Amino acid sequence: MQISVTGHHVEITDSLRNHVEDKIKKLKRHFDNVVDIHVILTVEKHVQKAEATVQISGAKLYAEDSQDDMYTAIDNMVDKLDRQIIKHKEKTKNHR
């Protein structure tokens, strides 16, 4: 699993990178075939935005979230991805 974190108008600090990587590890619990994850952190005026594209075997998933706090936006974005991965896993398991 390869994780890349980039920033637009924001410097990616070690604490931000570690927070993203710790939260992304949560996705690995539900689905082992995660190939690539690209996270983009953006600051637009007072809005902190986190978006991610996840390449898994058989699909490409996308989620984004905007909040006043970057860490909250990252947490919500990972929760959205988690739900999408669980839904994708159930589809592939039930669909023969």
User: What is the predicted pLDDT for the residue at 96?
Assistant: 60
Query: What span, in angstroms and rounded, lies between the C-alpha atoms of 39 and 4?
Result: 6
CA dihedral 87, 57, 62, 72 (to 10 degrees): 70
Could you report the per-residue pLDDT of 79-92, keeping only the tens digit for each?
A: 999 999 888 888 87
Provide CATH code, domain 2-94.
Answer: 3.30.160.100
- Domain range annotation of the chain: 2-94
> Quick one: pLDDT at residue 1?
76
29-82, pLDDT tens digit by residue?
777 777 889 999 999 888 999 999 998 877 899 999 999 999 999 999 999 999
Residue 85 has what pLDDT? Answer: 87
Model confidence pLDDT, tens digit, residues 2-40: 888 999 988 989 999 999 999 888 887 777 777 889 999
Q: What's the pLDDT at 66?
A: 93
